[in-house]
Amino acid sequence: MIEAFGYTFFQRAILAGVIAGGLCGLLSVFIIAKKMAFIGQGISHAAFGGVALGLFLGIDPLLTATIFAVAMALVVAFSSKRGSLDRDTIIGIVMATSMAIGVLLLSFATSYTGTVMSYLFGNILAVGRTELFFLIAVAILTFIFIALFYKELEFFAFDEQMARHSGIPVDPIQATLLVFIALAVIASIQIAGIILVTALLVVPGAIAMLIGRRFGSLFPISIATGVIASIIGLSISYILDIPSGATIVLTLAIFFAVATIIKKLSKKSR
């Protein structure tokens, strides 16, 4: 295992896993607090249509996937406030439409199988410099946004109506948060894949909610969970030669099971 750190591809993989785990862990707190788990899933599945379009047109799939994901985030942010349909309904419609576009485009060619599988399930060992730089840029911008608007985001997370009455620009803040979630999904696709990336956005925050007592304490717990799970999952996947994305997600699932058991035992002991 130690000799693996001598390889550039493994160094990039570890760095990407740490950054993606921390980034998704940071956003996961807001996703769980606002009960937006379905949004992460919807955006990641919508990105599939963008990946398929990029492969079909012969351009960078991450570029088209980013456009699709950000577009969905903005559609969800604004249409749910102005229409008669609730947010989950809109997410379901847009997600299904994008997936259908992806399946239709990929049906015209059979030479994309390996590439599509990489995007669907992730291949962290194949992370290149471009993907890594994009991930770093998204992480930095996300941390800056949350640091600048922390009080507004905290208010929005726990009492949206009161935040509106207090004059906080809830709609722009929500839209910006959803865009950063979309960017985090795209930046993390190479690590966990379209199908599994939702776990990175949901499980760390759920664990933090079980363990933490104050809102501020949720972030270090969630970030640490994402980072540690990524490192352990990647290490196990390298040693056993098994898919890295699935191993990271299963590691998160084990963490969640342990946290749930500890929570129940602590309640019984009181």
Domain 2-265: what homologous superfamily? ABC transporter involved in vitamin B12 uptake, BtuC (1.10.3470.10)
Number of helices (H), then strands (E), belonging to the chain: the values are 11, 0
For residue 159, the model assigns a pLDDT of: 77
**pTM, to two decimals:** 0.87
Phi, psi angles (nearest 5°) of residue 6: -80, -10
98-131 burial: b if 16+ Cβ within 10 Å, else e: bbebbeebbeeeeebeeebebbbbbbbbebeeeb
Residue pair 203/28 in contact (Cβ under 8 Å)? The answer is yes
Residue pair 58/175 in contact (Cβ under 8 Å)? The answer is no
| Rounded Cα–Cα distance for residues 126 and 62 (Å) | 14
**In terms of C-beta density within 10 A (0-12 exposed, 13-18 middle, 19 or more buried), how is residue 160 classed?**
middle
| Rounded Cα–Cα distance for residues 131 and 113 (Å) | 20
For residue 80, the model assigns a pLDDT of: 59
For residue 28, the model assigns a pLDDT of: 93
Pick from 191, 215, 211, 193: nearest CA to 256: 211
10-residue mean pLDDT series, the chain (270 residues): 68 87 92 83 83 84 88 80 68 84 79 68 75 91 93 83 82 89 88 81 92 85 94 88 86 94 76
For residue 214, the model assigns a pLDDT of: 83
DSSP state of 36: -
Pick from 196, 190, 200, 206: nearest CA to 246: 196
| Rounded Cα–Cα distance for residues 264 and 266 (Å) | 5
For residue 255, the model assigns a pLDDT of: 95
For residue 156, the model assigns a pLDDT of: 83
DSSP state of 246: H
Within 10 angstroms of residue 239's Cβ, the number of other Cβ atoms is: 11
For residue 240, the model assigns a pLDDT of: 87
For residue 112, the model assigns a pLDDT of: 61
Report the Cα–Cα distance between both ends of the chain, in Å, rounded: 43
| Rounded Cα–Cα distance for residues 160 and 53 (Å) | 36
The answer for residues whose C-beta is within 8 angstroms of residue 115's C-beta and 6 or more apart is 55, 61
| Rounded Cα–Cα distance for residues 259 and 234 (Å) | 21
Pick from 37, 21, 15: nearest CA to 222: 21
For residue 25, the model assigns a pLDDT of: 92
